[in-house]
Amino acid sequence: MAEEFDFSLFGDVVVRPSTGETADPIEVLADKVILLYFGALWNEPSVKFNLKLGLFDSLAKVPEEYEIVFCSMDRSEEDYNNFCAKMSGWCLPYAMPTLPKLITEYKAHGMPHLVVIDKDGSLITMEGVQSMMTDPVGKNFPWRRIRVVDILPETYVIKKDGEEVKQPMSYLDDRHLMLYFAARSDDLSKEFTPWMTKAYNILKGKRGDDFELLYVSGDESEPAFEAFFGEMTCGAIDFDDSDAREALETRLDITAYPTLVMLGPKPEDEEDNFGDRPIINSEVRAVIENGDYITDFPFYPKPYGDLCKTTDDINTHKCLIVFHEQGDEEEQFEIEYAVRDASEEYRGEEFIKFYWAFDQDAGMAANIWQACELIDSGTPTMVLLDVKNDGAFYVSDETEITPETIKFFLMNFKSSPQGTI
């Protein structure tokens, strides 16, 4: 389910300089597609794009209501007024206090930048400029991403009596579907596949036919595909369906192998999630590696985890991390459960993922420990890391780790020593 859009980012009022109107953002923008436009008068590409945006606004014949909201990156109020005077859409007031947060949230690090937000508050695309350049009158507006159900091929293959047999993809419509992106040439894929196969067999034995797993090959040749698929007990998308395999990688933002994605069943109602399978979790590999797959199906993401084992993309959210390599087993258990409890009790406006880390030389934990230049004093070290906000981090001086001290740190972290990675 999409999160409701945070209209507080727009402040108390939006203005329409061309007419002198002012309005409450919620009243004029709620239940509409929002085109969030970042630009400036001093930026020549923005000036040129402004003409295309105006042309779109005057010529587009689209079935869905939309509003353009200009987020000024101008260096002076005079430039802001001159630029906004040429716009027919709504504008945020000059030098809005929330502008830095909008820039960070929607990665507006270049101009022009156009973000398309759906009626339900979900992000459609941050590549609106490219979408408008290729579709100037909005024939495919609002440029929603292609549905997963439209990319999946009509059939998949299973092994039966030593032969590959094609089955209609529609057989899986009412089941959860895991897609396993991997390649035989990838060492991590070869290492993880036996664990994945074991987990699949156990889950099949316990759950029966309420889910399926399909291998989506990244292999360079059909013999490599056949050899690797031969080690698995699940089904696969046929190697010949290369367009579908490549499109799925693009649609699901697959950047590395192995990656295991959990999709929900196809909705019966086309109005539900636009008729597409919901993406439940793109990091199921970590669930399998941690052995949490028996009772937690279908693996909705948890707000906590072991930093030494995770494959999460920590660039997208704030992270609370408690390091304590020198703690004994009992101390580490207490910290783990304190972190778990704090994550479940946390009620802040921003999403934060909570982690513990007891091996400072393992994977992501080692990188963060070194980047923050932390010193092991033999006591727990608690850090709040915000990679997407210029790599800022804050280090607590608290050494007693409880749900209460964790939450206190989150409420007062700006008073703690800080740096950037």
What order of strands is seen across the sheet that includes strand 318-323? 304-306, 352-357, 318-323, 381-386, 392-395, 418-420
Tell me the pLDDT tens digit for each residue of 314-360. Answer: 877 899 999 999 999 999 999 999 999 999 999 887 789 999 999 98
Per-residue tokens: 349 = 């406006």
Distance, in Å, from the CA atom of 123 to the CA atom of 253, rounded to the nearest integer, reads: 14
Q: Is the pLDDT of residue 178 over 70?
A: yes
- Burial class of residue 345 (count of CB atoms within 10 Å of its CB; 0-12, 13-18, 19+): exposed
- Ranges 102-116, 162-176, 287-301: which has the least confidence: 287-301
- Burial class of residue 42 (count of CB atoms within 10 Å of its CB; 0-12, 13-18, 19+): middle
Q: Is the pLDDT of residue 107 over 70?
A: yes
Mind giving me the DSSP string for 74-95? -SSHHHHHHHHTT-SSEEPPTT
3-state secondary structure at position 126 = coil
pLDDT of residue 2: 43
Tell me the pLDDT tens digit for each residue of 192-206. Answer: 999 999 999 999 999
- Ranges 50-54, 132-136, 175-179, 289-293: which has the least confidence: 289-293
Per-residue tokens: 78 = 């005079």
Which sign does the torsion angle of CA 234, 235, 236, 237 carry? negative
pTM: 0.66
* Alpha-carbon distance values, 224 to 2, 165, 184, 219 (Å): 39, 19, 6, 6
* Alpha-carbon distance values, 387 to 111, 372, 421 (Å): 22, 11, 8
Kindly give the residue spans of alpha helices, DSSP state H, lying in 65-183: 77-84, 99-105, 128-134, 148-151
Identify any residues that bridge with 164 across adjacent strands, giving them in sequence order.
159
Kindly state the DSSP code that residue 265 receives in the 8-state scheme. Answer: P
Give residue 4's pLDDT band: very low, low, confident or very high (50, 70, 90). Answer: low
Give residue 1's pLDDT band: very low, low, confident or very high (50, 70, 90). Answer: very low
Distance, in Å, from the CA atom of 335 to the CA atom of 316, rounded to the nearest integer, reads: 24
Give residue 269's pLDDT band: very low, low, confident or very high (50, 70, 90). Answer: confident
Tell me the pLDDT tens digit for each residue of 202-234. Answer: 999 999 899 999 999 999 999 999 999 999 999
Q: CB of 66 within 8 A of CB of 57?
A: no
Q: Please measure the distance between the N-terminal and C-terminal CA atoms of the chain and give it in whole angstroms.
A: 33
Per-residue tokens: 96 = 């809005």
Query: Regarding predicted confidence, which is higher, 89 or 236?
Result: 236
pLDDT, average across residues 252-276: 90
pLDDT of residue 244: 95
pLDDT of residue 326: 92
Q: CB of 296 within 8 A of CB of 287?
A: yes
Distance, in Å, from the CA atom of 254 to the CA atom of 216, rounded to the nearest integer, reads: 11
pLDDT of residue 363: 75
Q: CB of 146 within 8 A of CB of 244?
A: no
Give residue 169's pLDDT band: very low, low, confident or very high (50, 70, 90). Answer: very high
CA proximity to 116, closest of 219, 42, 32: 32
Cis peptide before 93 (omega within 30 of 0): no
Give residue 243's pLDDT band: very low, low, confident or very high (50, 70, 90). Answer: very high
- CB-CB neighbours of 395 under 10 Å: 20
Distance, in Å, from the CA atom of 344 to the CA atom of 300, rounded to the nearest integer, reads: 14
pLDDT of residue 255: 87
Distance, in Å, from the CA atom of 421 to the CA atom of 406, rounded to the nearest integer, reads: 22
Question: For the chain, what is the mean pLDDT?
Answer: 91
Give residue 35's pLDDT band: very low, low, confident or very high (50, 70, 90). Answer: very high
CA 181 from chain centre, in angstroms, equals 17
pLDDT, average across residues 369-386: 93
Kindly state the DSSP code that residue 103 receives in the 8-state scheme. Answer: H
